[in-house]
Structure 1
Amino acid sequence: MASSQNLLVATLVANPDIGLDPARIDLAAMLLGPETKRSVLASGIAEDLIFPDPGSIKGVYNLLEAPFGDQQVDIVVQPLAHRRKRLFLADMDSTMIGQECIDELADYVGLKAEVSEITERAMRGEIAFEPALRERVALLKNLPVGVVDEIIEKRITLTEGGTELVQTIRANGGYACLVSGGFTLFTGPIGAKIGFNEHRSNHLIFDGEKLAGTVEEPILGREAKLATLVELRKELGLAAPDTMAVGDGANDLAMLGEAGLGVAFRAKPAVAAAAHAKIEHTDLFTLLYAQGYRDDEIVRPLPRPESA
């Protein structure tokens, strides 16, 4: 087989409730050519196919539509070299967590439907992110700051595999940054809970113990996310292929495009079409398998002791 510099790897990850079909993997290996090597990452769930680069990653995705197009299987195709990333940037809302924090805040003032509609349009790229954020924040004026703790405790759910992803990357010498168009009130405690090295997001302005309905300028949006990736990559002395980013909205597009591996997570159609890879059927464990981590190499957080 060719040297690792001339090899691609297609990582196949199935919805655990369904699993990988061995016959379909056999077909995929045959389609990729006689030099294809197979490597199991998680029995019945994740497997690598390693093969000589045919010159088109898009062509490989198209080829694998035949065996897997009707299956709940996510596929990540990338160069084998540099697959294990040393810098990871992640969006927060609807990526590392299952909710949009600003929509949950709006629910407290009875405006969730209105704010959610603006959020959805902004994430699809139909309206600019910055004015959309200002408009939504204005609707939150006079909301008590204390509701944030309640929202985090009662309404925010972490995406499956996210904590393991961040902690495994860090345990292997990598750096992880939570970069969000949301707010520090959320990214601080959520980032710490997951295990990120740092977090960057927007600062809400307070009027005493209530929200003033405004946000500090400049707003952290699409260009700031891109700038964060470039800045951290330079500080850490890394090459572009050593980086990975994940997100779901239009304001993540520049960051995803600049990363060595930019992944759209259950994303809006335009984002999924533009990203290097997409996750639609599985969870954030897929980004561990995409880096070649086997199940027994994944760092799993210790269960919290039950309160007395």
Structure 2
Amino acid sequence: MLIARLIAEPSLIEKALDTLIATVANTDVPVAHAAMLDFCGDVLQIESPGDDMARFRIALDDHFGQSDTIIAREPFRIPNVFVSDMDSTMIGQECIDELADYAGMKPQIAAITERAMQGELDFEGALRERVALLEGLDEKAITQCLDERIRPMDGARVLVQTLKARGCRTALVTGGFHHFADPVAQNLGFDRVVGNCLEVADSKLTGGLVGEITDSSTKRAALEHELAEFGPNAVGMAAGDGANDIPMLELAHYGVAYRAKPKARLAANGWIDRGDLTSLLRLLEIPEAEWAS
């Protein structure tokens, strides 16, 4: 059984659904049932007895275009665990790119960041290369960057606080830096932070990192660890936007690509292309009257 919940352009839903039903009728992913969720009239639930998720998601994409969607193999549940990337997911910026601007290096570093997020470069190598270019930058630039540049994504705090109110454990797991992630996590309400540590000496960045690198395997391991705390029947949700997020998106029951790069979106069974992060609450069937802030 495949169950999809989606939010799309309201004026197009009826026609798109009729066309979808006709198109997949004689395939291995026919539509068995489709209806709007009662309490929330903009969420459409579509059920198929098939098992080919890849084919089902292609059909949804082809017929509904830009949408906010999650596809599941079992009835939807509030997740026990939510693990999220930070840069361009929980916040609207790439911290290292913005910090680089204070060193006059933003174009060079942003170009490397983009290639790493597209999955064109080895993550650790690209990270160390970018950090090395920040050697000599005053540590005060981090505080200035946080104050002047770093802003949460729309709906980020509401999403985290609402999930926590439902008993969900939340973790911010980033290939970025604790200097940024710790205050961001505190502001949004995350329970745990995993990230990289910039090396500082005499109040200046050395161009190096301290400790092990937080990369794609670390992100997956963080989700595995949190799920294990809740036992074998735990449900996990993850959100991210780049290639470094793919392993945790693939592991999660609800792996959501948020305004993501193509490779990350293709690896996920959910995507947010249309709305903000509160779309996840709608797709999880949490009424807006019960959202926390």
TM-score by length of 2: 0.89
- Structure-2 residue corresponding to 1:39: 37
Q: 1: CA distance between counterparts of 2:75 and 2:145?
A: 42
- After superposing the two structures, state which structure 1 stretch, 54-63 or 288-297, moved more: 54-63
Secondary structure, aligned partner of 2:87: helix
Say whether 1:58 aligns with 2:49.
no
Secondary structure, aligned partner of 2:199: strand
Secondary structure, aligned partner of 2:89: helix
Q: Judging changes above 3 Å, is the alpha-carbon distance between structure 1 residues 106 and 239 closer, same or farther for their aligned structure 2 residues?
A: same
Q: Judging changes above 3 Å, is the alpha-carbon distance between structure 1 residues 222 and 67 closer, same or farther for their aligned structure 2 residues?
A: closer
Alignment of 1:133-148 (within 5 A): 133-148=127-142
Once the two structures are TM-superposed, the CA of residue 34 in structure 1 deviates from its matched residue by: 6.0
Q: Judging changes above 3 Å, is the alpha-carbon distance between structure 1 residues 20 and 186 closer, same or farther for their aligned structure 2 residues?
A: farther
Once the two structures are TM-superposed, the CA of residue 191 in structure 1 deviates from its matched residue by: 0.5
Q: Judging changes above 3 Å, is the alpha-carbon distance between structure 1 residues 221 and 210 closer, same or farther for their aligned structure 2 residues?
A: same
Say whether 1:27 aligns with 2:25.
no
Equivalent of residue 13 in structure 1, options 7, 15, 19: 7
- Structure-2 residue corresponding to 1:84: 78
Once the two structures are TM-superposed, the CA of residue 221 in structure 1 deviates from its matched residue by: 0.6
Once the two structures are TM-superposed, the CA of residue 58 in structure 1 deviates from its matched residue by: 3.0
Say whether 1:255 aligns with 2:248.
yes
Alignment of 1:273-284 (within 5 A): 273-284=266-277
Q: Judging changes above 3 Å, is the alpha-carbon distance between structure 1 residues 128 and 22 closer, same or farther for their aligned structure 2 residues?
A: closer
Q: Judging changes above 3 Å, is the alpha-carbon distance between structure 1 residues 158 and 104 closer, same or farther for their aligned structure 2 residues?
A: same
Once the two structures are TM-superposed, the CA of residue 84 in structure 1 deviates from its matched residue by: 1.7
Alignment of 1:1-308 (within 5 A): 6=1, 8-14=2-8, 19=10, 21=12, 23-24=14-15, 27=18, 33=31, 35-43=33-41, 46-65=42-61, 67-69=63-65, 72-239=66-233, 242-299=235-292, 301=293
Secondary structure, aligned partner of 2:207: strand
Alpha-carbon displacement from aligned partner over 1:182-212 (angstroms, at most 9, x marks no partner): 0001110001101101111011111121111
Q: How many residues align?
A: 286
Secondary structure, aligned partner of 2:154: coil
Q: 2: CA distance between counterparts of 1:22 and 1:48?
A: 8
Once the two structures are TM-superposed, the CA of residue 289 in structure 1 deviates from its matched residue by: 1.9
Q: 1: CA distance between counterparts of 2:60 and 2:218?
A: 35
TM-score by length of 1: 0.85
Secondary structure, aligned partner of 1:203: strand
Q: Judging changes above 3 Å, is the alpha-carbon distance between structure 1 residues 20 and 176 closer, same or farther for their aligned structure 2 residues?
A: farther
Once the two structures are TM-superposed, the CA of residue 146 in structure 1 deviates from its matched residue by: 1.5
Q: Judging changes above 3 Å, is the alpha-carbon distance between structure 1 residues 140 and 233 closer, same or farther for their aligned structure 2 residues?
A: same
Q: 1: CA distance between counterparts of 2:286 and 2:96?
A: 34
Once the two structures are TM-superposed, the CA of residue 239 in structure 1 deviates from its matched residue by: 3.2
Once the two structures are TM-superposed, the CA of residue 247 in structure 1 deviates from its matched residue by: 0.6
Q: Judging changes above 3 Å, is the alpha-carbon distance between structure 1 residues 264 and 109 closer, same or farther for their aligned structure 2 residues?
A: same
- Structure-2 residue corresponding to 1:305: none
Q: Judging changes above 3 Å, is the alpha-carbon distance between structure 1 residues 186 and 65 closer, same or farther for their aligned structure 2 residues?
A: closer
Unmatched runs of 5 consecutive residues or more in structure 1: 1-5, 302-308
